[in-house]
Structure 1
Amino acid sequence: MKEITAVGRTIEEAVDSGLKQIQLLQEEVDITIVDEGNKGFLGLFGKRQAVVKLVEKRDALKLATQYLDKIVKSIDPKANIVSKKETKKISFHIDGDKTSLMIGKRGQTLYSLETLVQLVFNRYSDQYHHITIDIGDYRKKRQEALEQYAIKTANRVLKTKRKVHLEPMPSNERKVVHDTIAAFSKELATASEDTGTKRHVVVLYKK
């Protein structure tokens, strides 16, 4: 974060001088007037220059991107990150040679990274935004796999009439399962059980 103290004959002149030195636009900084200055008596006695302090505003997206970039580049120096900002939502897409390391088992590393970036962004932002991170086409492939898994389980429950407990999943993946089974059969119901990392979906046959 850049900051500088600048002087000038007037406040406006001091601000202009500071902006040139810090190489930022006025809307990108917070300005504090340290001394309004004094023209002095007859422009000679007691003359004092204006003093202002310019501090670069904290850009939540910029800081979150830098944080993500630092972690990703430590794993894959050649990785590329692209961000997209929408209303109340920011998405990051990562491509690289070591995507499997950044995704982790069943996306655990990816989701942990997503949580950390969310915390960094919201720490510096005055408005909440939902952060999502995708690496390669992992999310699309994972959703397709979950839908197939849900339908396979649904058919099993319809056949046996016995409930089935699925593997633990994060909330976003459980939602995919809930939605898929709800659309697949009205004879089935789903519920989430347990807490924390053990929370999972249960598929039941309606009596």
Structure 2
Amino acid sequence: MSNSNTDSVEESNAAVAVADAPEPGDSAEDGVDVEELEHEGDIAADYIEGLLDIADFDGDIDMDVEGDRAMVSVVGATLDELIGDKGEVLEALQELTRLAVHRTTGSRSRLMLDIGGFREGRRKTLTRIGAEAAAEVKKTGEVKPLTPMTPFERKVVHDAIAAAGLRSESEGEEPHRYVVVHPAD
């Protein structure tokens, strides 16, 4: 009789596993919970809006979900102080915003914050840098280390190098971590 119960439990678990399995083409395929990401974006937008009010900055806040991240963008006329010379203030604000989301949800957030289109412009530049480095490595056949970058910057460069059909790795310790481009095997 216990064997029958065990079979029943196993069949039940199998049915649950199948029912929970995402359908091909579903956004849940990558484990993405769009509602949760939208919730993170709402929390982040409220947090950033509060910071803007405290600092007496004007800016409009847009929230979106791209891939597996919530994206919060602040657009306005004079937001350079919130970006910093090389985006270091933006990076700090992003980390503070992620902490605010974590404090509310109890979950680690991969939220991306952009201010004044800085990240989008930087993404285009980094994609070009990655493509140029890949072209050079293809031509010379030699390993090419790049300059130190933030995690966001390294991710964009890694993606550009992979799109060119080459392999790359990150080496070093923060804040001096950098991408190394390797020739095709």
Give the TM-score normalised by the residue count of structure 1. Answer: 0.59
3-state SS of the aligned residue for 1:198? Answer: coil
Which one of 127, 133, 139 corresponds to residue 119 of structure 2? 139
Matched, 1:191 2:169: yes
Question: Which amino acid letter does the alignment assign opposite residue 139 of structure 2?
Answer: K
Deviations 1:114-173 (A, max 9, x none): 111111121122455432211232222221111111111122222232222112112222
Number of equivalences:
147
Please list, as runs of the form range in 1=range in 2, the aligned pairs for 1:1-207 lying within 5 A after superposition: 64-73=44-53, 75=55, 77-84=57-64, 89-185=69-165, 188-206=166-184
- Mapped partners of 2:107, 2:67: distance in 1: 10
Please state how far the C-alpha of 1:61 moved relative to its aligned partner: 7.0
**What displacement does 1:91 show?**
2.8
Contact 2:150 2:175 in 1 (8 A): yes
- One-letter amino acid of the structure 2 residue matched with residue 132 of structure 1: M
Runs of 4+ in 1 over 6 A off after TM superposition: 59-63, 85-88
Structure 1 or 2: more helix by fraction: 2
CA contact (8 A) 1:76 1:98 kept: no
Check conservation: 1:169, 1:200, Cα contact below 8 A. yes
SS at match of 1:197: coil
Give unpaired runs (5+ residues) of structure 2.
1-38
Provide the identity percentage.
Answer: 30
Does the CA contact (< 8 Å) of 1:174 and 1:200 recur in 2? yes
Q: Which has the larger radius of gyration?
A: 1
TM-score (norm 2): 0.65
Question: Which of the two has greater strand per residue?
Answer: 1
List alignment gaps of at least 5 residues for structure 1. 1-58
